[in-house]
Structure 1
Amino acid sequence: MLLATTKVADVDRFIRIFSTKGADKRRLHGSNGATVFRDPSEPDRVWAIFDWDAEGWKNFVSDPEVPAILQEAGHVGKPQAAMLLGHYEA
């Protein structure tokens, strides 16, 4: 699992590209899917929980075709992965 966040120019545009071209590229790097949330206090920020390992994420962000996909999706800056602090029962 991996949690990442980014700011976007337009959420609808972001979802349109994230769910098509972005999904195809993530799949090539081993992603098994994502759940996306809109930040309640920052309407231009989205959060995604990926079913993905750290190596796949690293390969994705270093893929030379990814910057054009991010630009088309309207990212404002680079997506940032959150640091996992732990996993706790209940």
Structure 2
Amino acid sequence: MLLATTRVEDVDRFIEVFSTKGAEKRKLHGSKGSTVFRDPSEDDRLWAIFDWDAEGWKRFVSDPEVPPILQAAGHKGKPQAAMLIGEFEA
């Protein structure tokens, strides 16, 4: 599992690309799905939880075909993966 955040110009535009071209490219790199949240404090910030391993993420972010997809989705910068610091019961 992986958590990532990004800022976008327009949420609807992002979702349109994320759910189509972005999904196809993520699947190619091993992603098995995602759940997207909008930040309650920053309207342009989104958080996504991916069913994806770190190696697949690394391949995705280094794929030369990804930057045009991110641009089409209206990303304001590169998506950033959050660092896992622990897993706990309950």
Instruction: State if a TM-score over 0.5 links the two structures.
Output: yes
Unaligned segments of structure 2, at least 5 residues: none
Equivalent position of 1:12 in the other structure:
12
Structure 1 residue 53, shift from structure 2 partner? 0.1
The Cα RMSD (Å) is 0.2
Equivalent position of 1:74 in the other structure:
74
1:25-50 deviations in Å (ceiling 9; x for gaps): 00000000000000000000000000
Distance 1:28 1:86 in 2: 28
Matches within 5 A, 1:2-81: 2-81=2-81
Scaled by the length of structure 1, what TM-score is found?
1.00
Scaled by the length of structure 2, what TM-score is found?
1.00
Amino acid at match of 2:48: A
Structure 1 residue 71, shift from structure 2 partner? 0.0
**Residue 16 of structure 1 aligns to a residue in which SS?**
helix
Amino acid at match of 1:67: P
Query: Which aligned segments of 4 or more residues in structure 1 are displaced greater than 3 angstroms?
Result: none
Q: Which has the higher strand share?
A: 1
